[in-house]
Amino acid sequence: MSIPANLKYAKSHEWARLEADGTVTVGITHHAQDLLGDMVFIENPTVGRKLAAGEECAVVESVKAASDVYSPIAGEVVEANADVEASPESINQDAYAAWMFRLKPDNAADLDGLMDAAAYQAFVDSEAH
């Protein structure tokens, strides 16, 4: 199980990373892509959209399911990753390199409300039972 220590995690299986410029990068976890299987389609939120924490904002579709992606924190979408839309399988290859979108957070401190790697590991383990 791959859960990088430098990221924050949401219970809906997104990861978030605070960048040097104050934006927050969002993707789905290795565990999430593992459950979903081979990705075939990614729909990102449009740039400029304002998201609430936990708001449904993107869709990842695999050969066996389609799943909503939720914004881990509140903010405005400043960039959507066109590369991942063009190559959905890149999420399967490396879920932490294949980010989905970037947010300008309303409040960067909101990240503290998310899980760290250890808490997410425990959460994944608990869901397995």
| Binding residues vs other proteins (CB under 8 A) | 41, 43, 46, 49, 61-62, 64-66, 68
Burial of 71 (0-12, 13-18, 19+ CB in 10 A): buried
The CB-of-103 to other proteins minimum distance in angstroms stands at 17
Closest separation in Å from C-beta 91 to other proteins: 15
Q: Write phi, then psi, for 12 (nearest 5 degrees).
A: -90, 15
d(CA 55, CA 39): 22
Nearer to other proteins, 61 or 106 (CB): 61
Which of helix, strand or coil describes residue 111? helix
Q: How far is the CB of 67 from other proteins (least distance, A)?
A: 9
Nearer to other proteins, 63 or 109 (CB): 63
